Structure 1
Amino acid sequence: MGAVTPKTIAQLDLAVSHCRACRRLVNWREKVASEKRAAFRDETYWGKAVPGFGPADAAVLIVGLAPAAHGANRTGRMFTGDRSGDVLYAALHAVGLANQPTSTHIDDGLTLHGVRITAPVHCAPPDNKPTVTERDRCQKWLDAELRLLKPTLKSIVVLGGFGWQALLPVLRKNGWEIPRPNPKFGHGVEVDITAPGHSAGSTPAPGTVRLFGSYHVSQQNTFTGRLTPSMIENVLRAAGSHAGLSVSAAAS
Protein backbone atom coordinates (compact mmCIF):
# COMPACT_ATOMS: atom_id res chain seq x y z
CA MET A 1 0.00 0.00 0.00
CA GLY A 2 3.05 2.16 0.05
CA ALA A 3 4.97 3.80 2.87
CA VAL A 4 1.87 5.25 4.53
CA THR A 5 -1.15 3.21 5.61
CA PRO A 6 -4.38 5.24 5.27
CA LYS A 7 -5.75 6.16 8.68
CA THR A 8 -8.99 7.71 7.43
CA ILE A 9 -11.41 7.10 4.56
CA ALA A 10 -10.37 10.42 3.05
CA GLN A 11 -6.73 9.32 3.03
CA LEU A 12 -7.74 5.99 1.54
CA ASP A 13 -9.74 7.60 -1.26
CA LEU A 14 -6.81 9.86 -2.16
CA ALA A 15 -4.38 6.94 -2.16
CA VAL A 16 -6.66 4.85 -4.38
CA SER A 17 -6.97 7.66 -6.92
CA HIS A 18 -3.18 7.73 -7.31
CA CYS A 19 -2.71 3.96 -7.68
CA ARG A 20 -0.84 2.77 -10.80
CA ALA A 21 -0.09 -0.79 -9.67
CA CYS A 22 -1.57 -2.67 -12.66
CA ARG A 23 0.03 -1.70 -15.96
CA ARG A 24 -2.71 -3.27 -18.13
CA LEU A 25 -5.47 -1.45 -16.27
CA VAL A 26 -3.62 1.86 -16.18
CA ASN A 27 -3.02 1.67 -19.94
CA TRP A 28 -6.66 0.80 -20.62
CA ARG A 29 -8.27 3.41 -18.37
CA GLU A 30 -6.05 6.14 -19.84
CA LYS A 31 -6.64 4.97 -23.41
CA VAL A 32 -10.41 5.14 -22.88
CA ALA A 33 -10.09 8.56 -21.24
CA SER A 34 -8.15 9.84 -24.24
CA GLU A 35 -10.19 8.31 -27.05
CA LYS A 36 -13.57 8.80 -25.30
CA ARG A 37 -17.00 7.75 -26.47
CA ALA A 38 -18.57 9.99 -29.11
CA ALA A 39 -21.42 10.99 -26.80
CA PHE A 40 -18.89 12.30 -24.26
CA ARG A 41 -16.29 13.78 -26.60
CA ASP A 42 -16.51 17.20 -24.95
CA GLU A 43 -16.03 15.86 -21.43
CA THR A 44 -12.80 15.44 -19.48
CA TYR A 45 -12.59 11.83 -18.32
CA TRP A 46 -11.41 10.97 -14.82
CA GLY A 47 -9.16 8.24 -16.23
CA LYS A 48 -7.75 7.16 -12.84
CA ALA A 49 -8.50 4.54 -10.23
CA VAL A 50 -11.94 5.26 -8.75
CA PRO A 51 -12.22 5.44 -4.94
CA GLY A 52 -15.22 4.36 -2.92
CA PHE A 53 -18.16 6.71 -2.42
CA GLY A 54 -20.14 7.38 0.72
CA PRO A 55 -19.70 8.39 4.36
CA ALA A 56 -16.75 7.29 6.48
CA ASP A 57 -19.08 5.92 9.17
CA ALA A 58 -21.28 3.85 6.84
CA ALA A 59 -23.32 1.03 8.34
CA VAL A 60 -23.90 -0.58 4.92
CA LEU A 61 -21.18 -1.32 2.37
CA ILE A 62 -22.09 -2.18 -1.23
CA VAL A 63 -19.42 -4.14 -3.09
CA GLY A 64 -19.57 -4.17 -6.88
CA LEU A 65 -17.10 -5.39 -9.50
CA ALA A 66 -15.07 -2.61 -11.15
CA PRO A 67 -15.63 0.87 -12.64
CA ALA A 68 -17.27 1.06 -16.06
CA ALA A 69 -15.06 2.44 -18.84
CA HIS A 70 -17.46 5.26 -19.76
CA GLY A 71 -19.21 5.43 -16.39
CA ALA A 72 -17.07 5.78 -13.26
CA ASN A 73 -13.87 5.93 -15.33
CA ARG A 74 -15.39 9.02 -16.94
CA THR A 75 -17.05 10.66 -13.93
CA GLY A 76 -14.74 9.61 -11.10
CA ARG A 77 -17.50 8.20 -8.89
CA MET A 78 -18.64 4.63 -8.41
CA PHE A 79 -21.68 3.61 -10.52
CA THR A 80 -22.05 7.14 -11.87
CA GLY A 81 -22.93 7.96 -15.46
CA ASP A 82 -23.97 4.52 -16.73
CA ARG A 83 -27.00 2.23 -16.90
CA SER A 84 -25.89 0.09 -13.96
CA GLY A 85 -25.71 3.18 -11.79
CA ASP A 86 -29.14 4.28 -12.99
CA VAL A 87 -30.59 1.08 -11.54
CA LEU A 88 -28.58 1.06 -8.32
CA TYR A 89 -29.17 4.67 -7.30
CA ALA A 90 -32.84 4.56 -8.24
CA ALA A 91 -33.19 1.56 -5.92
CA LEU A 92 -31.23 3.25 -3.12
CA HIS A 93 -33.49 6.29 -3.40
CA ALA A 94 -36.62 4.12 -3.49
CA VAL A 95 -35.72 2.53 -0.14
CA GLY A 96 -34.65 5.82 1.46
CA LEU A 97 -30.87 5.37 1.37
CA ALA A 98 -30.09 8.13 -1.14
CA ASN A 99 -31.37 11.70 -1.44
CA GLN A 100 -32.04 11.45 -5.19
CA PRO A 101 -32.62 8.67 -7.74
CA THR A 102 -29.98 9.71 -10.27
CA SER A 103 -26.19 9.82 -10.37
CA THR A 104 -24.89 11.66 -13.42
CA HIS A 105 -21.69 13.43 -12.39
CA ILE A 106 -19.52 13.96 -9.34
CA ASP A 107 -21.05 17.34 -8.41
CA ASP A 108 -24.72 16.45 -8.91
CA GLY A 109 -25.60 16.73 -5.21
CA LEU A 110 -26.05 13.00 -4.57
CA THR A 111 -25.79 11.97 -0.92
CA LEU A 112 -25.98 8.45 0.48
CA HIS A 113 -27.52 7.83 3.91
CA GLY A 114 -25.38 5.42 5.93
CA VAL A 115 -24.22 3.63 2.79
CA ARG A 116 -20.83 3.43 1.10
CA ILE A 117 -20.09 1.89 -2.31
CA THR A 118 -16.82 0.27 -3.31
CA ALA A 119 -15.39 -2.44 -5.58
CA PRO A 120 -12.73 -5.15 -5.41
CA VAL A 121 -11.05 -3.59 -8.47
CA HIS A 122 -10.78 0.19 -8.70
CA CYS A 123 -9.78 0.60 -12.36
CA ALA A 124 -11.95 0.02 -15.43
CA PRO A 125 -10.80 -3.27 -17.01
CA PRO A 126 -10.95 -4.23 -20.71
CA ASP A 127 -14.22 -6.06 -21.48
CA ASN A 128 -15.21 -5.43 -17.85
CA LYS A 129 -13.09 -8.47 -16.88
CA PRO A 130 -10.25 -7.92 -14.43
CA THR A 131 -7.81 -10.79 -14.03
CA VAL A 132 -7.41 -12.72 -10.79
CA THR A 133 -3.95 -11.18 -10.43
CA GLU A 134 -5.39 -7.67 -10.78
CA ARG A 135 -8.12 -8.45 -8.28
CA ASP A 136 -5.59 -9.76 -5.77
CA ARG A 137 -3.24 -6.80 -6.28
CA CYS A 138 -6.13 -4.42 -5.60
CA GLN A 139 -7.14 -6.35 -2.48
CA LYS A 140 -5.09 -4.07 -0.23
CA TRP A 141 -7.58 -1.23 -0.82
CA LEU A 142 -10.61 -3.35 0.11
CA ASP A 143 -8.68 -4.58 3.13
CA ALA A 144 -8.03 -1.00 4.27
CA GLU A 145 -11.63 0.03 3.63
CA LEU A 146 -13.02 -2.80 5.72
CA ARG A 147 -10.56 -2.03 8.51
CA LEU A 148 -11.61 1.62 8.58
CA LEU A 149 -15.34 0.83 8.41
CA LYS A 150 -15.20 -1.94 11.01
CA PRO A 151 -16.46 0.21 13.94
CA THR A 152 -19.75 1.06 12.20
CA LEU A 153 -20.28 -1.66 9.60
CA LYS A 154 -23.39 -3.84 10.02
CA SER A 155 -24.37 -5.01 6.53
CA ILE A 156 -22.54 -5.75 3.28
CA VAL A 157 -24.41 -6.05 0.00
CA VAL A 158 -22.38 -7.91 -2.62
CA LEU A 159 -23.36 -7.40 -6.25
CA GLY A 160 -22.40 -10.53 -8.13
CA GLY A 161 -20.24 -13.59 -7.68
CA PHE A 162 -16.96 -11.84 -8.51
CA GLY A 163 -17.36 -9.46 -5.59
CA TRP A 164 -18.46 -12.30 -3.31
CA GLN A 165 -15.35 -14.34 -4.07
CA ALA A 166 -13.10 -11.31 -3.66
CA LEU A 167 -14.67 -10.20 -0.37
CA LEU A 168 -14.65 -13.37 1.73
CA PRO A 169 -10.87 -13.76 2.10
CA VAL A 170 -10.49 -10.08 2.95
CA LEU A 171 -13.14 -10.35 5.65
CA ARG A 172 -11.39 -13.43 7.04
CA LYS A 173 -8.08 -11.55 7.03
CA ASN A 174 -9.72 -8.79 9.07
CA GLY A 175 -10.82 -11.22 11.75
CA TRP A 176 -14.42 -12.06 10.86
CA GLU A 177 -15.34 -15.72 11.19
CA ILE A 178 -16.51 -16.97 7.79
CA PRO A 179 -18.35 -20.32 7.77
CA ARG A 180 -16.45 -23.21 6.15
CA PRO A 181 -16.91 -24.23 3.46
CA ASN A 182 -17.34 -20.70 2.15
CA PRO A 183 -21.00 -19.73 1.77
CA LYS A 184 -22.10 -19.80 -1.87
CA PHE A 185 -23.19 -16.66 -3.66
CA GLY A 186 -26.80 -16.30 -4.73
CA HIS A 187 -29.40 -13.59 -5.05
CA GLY A 188 -31.17 -13.20 -1.72
CA VAL A 189 -28.55 -15.16 0.22
CA GLU A 190 -27.93 -13.84 3.74
CA VAL A 191 -25.01 -14.93 5.91
CA ASP A 192 -24.05 -13.71 9.38
CA ILE A 193 -20.33 -13.53 10.03
CA THR A 194 -19.00 -13.17 13.55
CA ALA A 195 -17.23 -9.93 14.27
CA PRO A 196 -13.65 -9.82 15.57
CA GLY A 197 -13.53 -10.23 19.33
CA HIS A 198 -16.94 -11.93 19.63
CA SER A 199 -18.00 -15.53 19.88
CA ALA A 200 -20.45 -17.15 17.52
CA GLY A 201 -23.81 -18.09 19.00
CA SER A 202 -27.41 -18.85 18.14
CA THR A 203 -28.15 -15.14 17.75
CA PRO A 204 -26.00 -12.47 16.10
CA ALA A 205 -23.31 -11.21 18.48
CA PRO A 206 -22.78 -7.47 18.92
CA GLY A 207 -20.92 -6.18 15.91
CA THR A 208 -21.81 -9.14 13.72
CA VAL A 209 -21.96 -8.28 10.02
CA ARG A 210 -24.58 -9.76 7.71
CA LEU A 211 -23.71 -10.42 4.08
CA PHE A 212 -26.46 -9.97 1.49
CA GLY A 213 -26.06 -11.40 -2.00
CA SER A 214 -27.62 -9.75 -5.05
CA TYR A 215 -27.24 -10.17 -8.75
CA HIS A 216 -25.15 -7.39 -10.21
CA VAL A 217 -26.99 -4.36 -11.60
CA SER A 218 -25.39 -4.88 -15.01
CA GLN A 219 -27.41 -4.45 -18.19
CA GLN A 220 -26.98 -8.17 -18.80
CA ASN A 221 -29.12 -8.78 -15.72
CA THR A 222 -31.46 -5.80 -15.71
CA PHE A 223 -32.32 -5.79 -19.43
CA THR A 224 -33.15 -9.50 -19.37
CA GLY A 225 -35.29 -9.29 -16.24
CA ARG A 226 -32.98 -11.52 -14.23
CA LEU A 227 -32.74 -8.62 -11.79
CA THR A 228 -35.79 -6.40 -11.44
CA PRO A 229 -36.04 -3.09 -9.55
CA SER A 230 -38.07 -4.73 -6.80
CA MET A 231 -35.47 -7.49 -6.38
CA ILE A 232 -32.57 -5.11 -5.77
CA GLU A 233 -34.77 -2.83 -3.65
CA ASN A 234 -35.71 -5.76 -1.41
CA VAL A 235 -32.05 -6.64 -0.81
CA LEU A 236 -31.10 -3.03 -0.08
CA ARG A 237 -34.10 -2.60 2.20
CA ALA A 238 -33.17 -5.73 4.17
CA ALA A 239 -29.54 -4.63 4.46
CA GLY A 240 -30.48 -1.15 5.59
CA SER A 241 -32.99 -2.43 8.10
CA HIS A 242 -30.49 -4.89 9.56
CA ALA A 243 -27.99 -2.04 9.92
CA GLY A 244 -30.50 0.08 11.82
CA LEU A 245 -30.97 2.63 9.05
CA SER A 246 -34.29 4.27 8.26
CA VAL A 247 -35.67 2.57 5.16
CA SER A 248 -38.90 2.92 3.23
CA ALA A 249 -41.46 0.13 3.28
CA ALA A 250 -41.99 -1.93 0.15
CA ALA A 251 -44.77 -0.75 -2.14
CA SER A 252 -47.96 -2.73 -1.75
Structure 2
Amino acid sequence: MTTTVHDPAEPPRDCPLCPRLVAYREANRSAHPGWWNGPVPSWGDRDGRLLVVGLAPGVGGANRTGRPFTGDYAGTLLYETLAKYGFATGRYGADPADGLALRDCRIVNAVRCVPPANLPTPLEIRTCNGFLKEEIAAVAGARAVLALGVVAHNAVLRANGLPMSRHKFRHGQVVELPNGVLLADSYHVSRYNTNTGVLTTAMFEAVVGQLRETLDAAG
Protein backbone atom coordinates (compact mmCIF):
# COMPACT_ATOMS: atom_id res chain seq x y z
CA MET A 1 0.00 0.00 0.00
CA THR A 2 1.36 3.39 -1.02
CA THR A 3 1.08 6.26 1.44
CA THR A 4 0.69 9.72 -0.02
CA VAL A 5 2.75 12.34 1.82
CA HIS A 6 1.02 15.71 1.91
CA ASP A 7 3.07 18.71 0.86
CA PRO A 8 3.09 21.09 3.86
CA ALA A 9 3.36 24.05 1.49
CA GLU A 10 -0.02 23.22 -0.07
CA PRO A 11 -3.39 23.41 1.71
CA PRO A 12 -5.54 20.28 1.36
CA ARG A 13 -8.27 20.37 -1.29
CA ASP A 14 -10.94 20.93 1.38
CA CYS A 15 -8.90 23.11 3.71
CA PRO A 16 -11.14 23.93 6.69
CA LEU A 17 -9.12 26.74 8.27
CA CYS A 18 -11.09 29.83 7.16
CA PRO A 19 -14.87 29.44 7.62
CA ARG A 20 -15.81 32.37 5.38
CA LEU A 21 -13.63 31.09 2.55
CA VAL A 22 -14.95 27.56 3.01
CA ALA A 23 -18.53 28.83 2.67
CA TYR A 24 -17.64 30.82 -0.45
CA ARG A 25 -15.84 27.80 -1.92
CA GLU A 26 -18.90 25.61 -1.37
CA ALA A 27 -21.16 28.21 -2.93
CA ASN A 28 -18.92 28.36 -6.00
CA ARG A 29 -18.84 24.57 -6.23
CA SER A 30 -22.62 24.50 -6.29
CA ALA A 31 -22.87 27.30 -8.85
CA HIS A 32 -19.94 26.18 -11.04
CA PRO A 33 -19.25 22.46 -10.52
CA GLY A 34 -16.83 22.36 -13.46
CA TRP A 35 -14.48 24.93 -11.95
CA TRP A 36 -11.41 24.23 -9.81
CA ASN A 37 -13.04 25.71 -6.67
CA GLY A 38 -10.32 24.88 -4.19
CA PRO A 39 -7.04 26.21 -2.80
CA VAL A 40 -4.92 27.09 -5.84
CA PRO A 41 -1.51 25.43 -5.66
CA SER A 42 1.72 27.23 -6.34
CA TRP A 43 3.11 26.72 -9.82
CA GLY A 44 6.48 26.68 -11.52
CA ASP A 45 10.08 25.76 -10.91
CA ARG A 46 10.82 24.93 -7.29
CA ASP A 47 14.48 25.40 -8.08
CA GLY A 48 13.76 28.84 -9.55
CA ARG A 49 15.57 31.91 -8.33
CA LEU A 50 12.49 34.14 -8.54
CA LEU A 51 9.37 33.64 -6.44
CA VAL A 52 6.37 35.78 -7.39
CA VAL A 53 3.83 36.30 -4.60
CA GLY A 54 0.32 37.49 -5.45
CA LEU A 55 -2.71 38.27 -3.33
CA ALA A 56 -5.36 35.58 -3.85
CA PRO A 57 -7.12 33.72 -6.69
CA GLY A 58 -9.74 35.60 -8.70
CA VAL A 59 -13.17 33.99 -8.67
CA GLY A 60 -13.35 33.61 -12.45
CA GLY A 61 -9.61 33.31 -12.94
CA ALA A 62 -7.41 30.98 -10.89
CA ASN A 63 -10.39 29.76 -8.86
CA ARG A 64 -11.87 28.57 -12.15
CA THR A 65 -8.72 27.22 -13.81
CA GLY A 66 -6.61 26.04 -10.87
CA ARG A 67 -3.45 27.84 -12.02
CA PRO A 68 -2.28 31.13 -10.48
CA PHE A 69 -3.23 34.26 -12.45
CA THR A 70 -4.78 32.17 -15.22
CA GLY A 71 -8.08 33.14 -16.78
CA ASP A 72 -8.39 36.74 -15.68
CA TYR A 73 -7.00 40.06 -16.87
CA ALA A 74 -4.11 40.15 -14.39
CA GLY A 75 -2.52 37.09 -15.96
CA THR A 76 -2.01 38.79 -19.31
CA LEU A 77 0.35 41.48 -18.02
CA LEU A 78 2.07 39.13 -15.56
CA TYR A 79 2.81 36.26 -17.91
CA GLU A 80 3.64 38.35 -20.97
CA THR A 81 6.14 40.30 -18.89
CA LEU A 82 7.66 37.17 -17.36
CA ALA A 83 8.05 35.73 -20.86
CA LYS A 84 9.62 38.94 -22.17
CA TYR A 85 12.35 38.73 -19.54
CA GLY A 86 12.97 35.00 -19.81
CA PHE A 87 11.04 33.83 -16.75
CA ALA A 88 8.51 31.95 -18.90
CA THR A 89 8.44 30.15 -22.22
CA GLY A 90 5.54 29.62 -24.59
CA ARG A 91 2.51 31.81 -25.03
CA TYR A 92 -0.04 32.66 -22.36
CA GLY A 93 -3.49 31.54 -23.49
CA ALA A 94 -5.45 31.97 -20.23
CA ASP A 95 -5.76 28.20 -19.92
CA PRO A 96 -3.64 25.68 -17.98
CA ALA A 97 -3.34 23.70 -21.23
CA ASP A 98 -1.86 26.65 -23.16
CA GLY A 99 1.68 25.23 -23.03
CA LEU A 100 3.09 28.12 -21.04
CA ALA A 101 5.90 27.09 -18.70
CA LEU A 102 7.72 29.05 -16.03
CA ARG A 103 11.49 29.17 -16.18
CA ASP A 104 13.67 29.90 -13.14
CA CYS A 105 10.46 31.19 -11.54
CA ARG A 106 7.62 30.05 -9.30
CA ILE A 107 4.30 31.72 -8.46
CA VAL A 108 2.24 31.49 -5.27
CA ASN A 109 -0.53 33.52 -3.64
CA ALA A 110 -0.49 34.87 -0.10
CA VAL A 111 -4.02 33.47 0.30
CA ARG A 112 -4.74 30.25 -1.57
CA CYS A 113 -8.56 30.30 -1.64
CA VAL A 114 -10.69 32.84 -3.49
CA PRO A 115 -12.13 35.45 -1.11
CA PRO A 116 -15.48 37.22 -1.62
CA ALA A 117 -15.03 40.52 -3.48
CA ASN A 118 -11.34 39.59 -3.94
CA LEU A 119 -10.61 40.81 -0.40
CA PRO A 120 -9.28 38.40 2.23
CA THR A 121 -9.57 39.48 5.84
CA PRO A 122 -6.48 40.10 7.99
CA LEU A 123 -7.23 36.87 9.88
CA GLU A 124 -7.44 34.87 6.65
CA ILE A 125 -4.12 36.33 5.50
CA ARG A 126 -2.48 35.36 8.79
CA THR A 127 -4.05 31.91 8.76
CA CYS A 128 -2.75 31.13 5.28
CA ASN A 129 0.70 32.53 6.04
CA GLY A 130 1.91 29.18 7.32
CA PHE A 131 1.60 27.75 3.82
CA LEU A 132 3.54 30.68 2.37
CA LYS A 133 6.25 30.15 4.97
CA GLU A 134 6.52 26.49 3.94
CA GLU A 135 6.59 27.48 0.27
CA ILE A 136 9.41 29.96 0.82
CA ALA A 137 11.36 27.29 2.72
CA ALA A 138 10.77 24.76 -0.08
CA VAL A 139 12.04 27.11 -2.80
CA ALA A 140 15.54 26.83 -1.44
CA GLY A 141 17.20 28.36 -4.48
CA ALA A 142 15.16 31.56 -4.46
CA ARG A 143 17.30 34.67 -4.65
CA ALA A 144 14.49 37.20 -5.11
CA VAL A 145 10.83 37.56 -4.23
CA LEU A 146 8.52 39.79 -6.24
CA ALA A 147 5.58 40.92 -4.10
CA LEU A 148 2.54 42.08 -6.06
CA GLY A 149 0.88 44.60 -3.79
CA VAL A 150 0.88 45.52 -0.11
CA VAL A 151 -0.79 42.32 1.12
CA ALA A 152 1.76 40.13 -0.62
CA HIS A 153 4.62 42.33 0.62
CA ASN A 154 3.48 42.10 4.24
CA ALA A 155 2.79 38.37 3.93
CA VAL A 156 6.37 37.78 2.76
CA LEU A 157 7.73 39.71 5.73
CA ARG A 158 5.53 37.75 8.14
CA ALA A 159 6.57 34.44 6.57
CA ASN A 160 10.19 35.42 7.12
CA GLY A 161 9.53 36.29 10.77
CA LEU A 162 9.94 40.02 10.19
CA PRO A 163 7.67 42.81 11.49
CA MET A 164 5.71 44.67 8.84
CA SER A 165 7.31 47.89 10.10
CA ARG A 166 10.74 46.65 8.97
CA HIS A 167 10.11 47.53 5.33
CA LYS A 168 7.13 49.53 4.10
CA PHE A 169 5.73 48.67 0.66
CA ARG A 170 6.85 50.96 -2.13
CA HIS A 171 6.50 50.26 -5.82
CA GLY A 172 9.89 49.70 -7.44
CA GLN A 173 11.66 49.21 -4.12
CA VAL A 174 14.16 46.38 -3.73
CA VAL A 175 15.45 45.52 -0.26
CA GLU A 176 17.64 42.72 1.01
CA LEU A 177 16.13 40.53 3.72
CA PRO A 178 18.31 39.16 6.56
CA ASN A 179 18.59 35.81 4.76
CA GLY A 180 20.12 37.54 1.73
CA VAL A 181 17.02 37.19 -0.46
CA LEU A 182 15.90 40.32 -2.29
CA LEU A 183 12.33 41.55 -1.83
CA ALA A 184 11.06 43.61 -4.77
CA ASP A 185 7.74 45.46 -4.73
CA SER A 186 5.29 46.16 -7.52
CA TYR A 187 1.72 47.33 -7.54
CA HIS A 188 -0.58 44.40 -8.22
CA VAL A 189 -1.22 43.60 -11.88
CA SER A 190 -4.98 43.86 -11.40
CA ARG A 191 -7.33 45.30 -14.00
CA TYR A 192 -8.24 48.09 -11.57
CA ASN A 193 -4.62 49.20 -11.20
CA THR A 194 -3.89 49.10 -14.91
CA ASN A 195 -7.18 50.76 -15.91
CA THR A 196 -6.63 53.63 -13.48
CA GLY A 197 -2.97 54.09 -14.38
CA VAL A 198 -1.69 53.11 -10.95
CA LEU A 199 0.40 50.50 -12.78
CA THR A 200 1.44 50.74 -16.41
CA THR A 201 3.10 48.08 -18.54
CA ALA A 202 6.31 50.12 -18.54
CA MET A 203 6.28 50.37 -14.73
CA PHE A 204 5.86 46.64 -14.29
CA GLU A 205 8.42 45.78 -16.94
CA ALA A 206 10.93 48.04 -15.19
CA VAL A 207 10.58 46.03 -11.96
CA VAL A 208 10.84 42.62 -13.64
CA GLY A 209 13.64 43.81 -15.92
CA GLN A 210 15.65 45.00 -12.93
CA LEU A 211 15.24 41.60 -11.28
CA ARG A 212 16.37 39.89 -14.47
CA GLU A 213 19.54 42.02 -14.58
CA THR A 214 20.24 41.47 -10.88
CA LEU A 215 19.84 37.70 -11.07
CA ASP A 216 21.94 37.46 -14.23
CA ALA A 217 24.69 39.53 -12.67
CA ALA A 218 24.71 37.27 -9.61
CA GLY A 219 25.15 34.20 -11.83
TM-score, normalisation: structure 2:
0.90
Instruction: Give the drift of 1:226.
Output: 1.6
Q: Give the CA deviation at 1:222.
A: 0.7
Q: Secondary structure at the match of 1:67?
A: coil
Aligned to 2:89: 99
The equivalent residue for 1:123 is 113
> Residue by residue, what CA displacement relative to the aligned partner does 1:52-100 show, whole Å, maximum 9, x if unpaired?
1111111101111000001000000100000011111111112221113
Structure 1, unpaired ranges of 5+:
37-42, 173-177, 196-207, 247-252
More strand by share: 2
1:1-252 equivalences under 5 Å are 11-12=7-8, 15-36=11-32, 44-149=34-139, 151-172=140-161, 181-195=165-179, 208-244=180-216
Q: Report the residue type matching 1:240 in the other structure.
A: R
- Whole-Å separation in 1 of the counterparts to 2:92 and 2:55: 20
Q: Give the aligned residue type for 1:88.
A: L
Residues 21, 61 of structure 1: alpha-carbon distance in 2 compared, 3 angstrom cutoff: same
**Quick check: 1:85–1:103 contact (8 Å CA) kept in 2?**
no
CA contact (8 A) 1:63 1:156 kept: yes
C-alpha RMSD of the superposition: 2.3
**Identity percentage of aligned residues:** 37
Secondary structure, aligned partner of 1:243: helix
- In structure 2, what is the Cα distance between the partners aligned to 1:24 and 1:18? 13
Q: Residue 13 and residue 51 in structure 1: after superposition, are their counterparts in 2 closer, same or farther (change >3 A)?
A: farther
* SS of equivalent residue, structure 2 residue 89: coil
The alpha carbon displacement at 1:155 in A equals 0.5
Determine the C-alpha separation between the residues in 2 that align with 1:115 and 1:211. Answer: 14
Over 3 Å off, 4+ runs:
12-18, 178-181
- Larger Rg, first or second structure (1 or 2): 1
> For residues 217 and 155 of structure 1, what CA distance do their matches in structure 2 show?
18
CA contact (8 A) 2:129 2:158 kept: no
For structure 2, which runs of at least 5 residues remain unmatched after alignment?
A: none
The letter of the residue matching 1:220 is Y
Letter in 2 for 1:152: G
> How far does residue 153 in structure 1 lie from its aligned partner after superposition?
0.8
Distance in 1 separating the partners of 2:215 and 2:5: 28
Q: Is contact 1:156-1:239 (8 Å) kept?
A: no
Aligned residue-pair number = 215
2:213 partner amino acid: S
Contact 1:190 1:211 in 2 (8 A): yes
Separation (CA, whole Å) in 1 of partners of 2:104 and 2:211: 11
Deviation at 1:240, TM superposition (A): 2.8
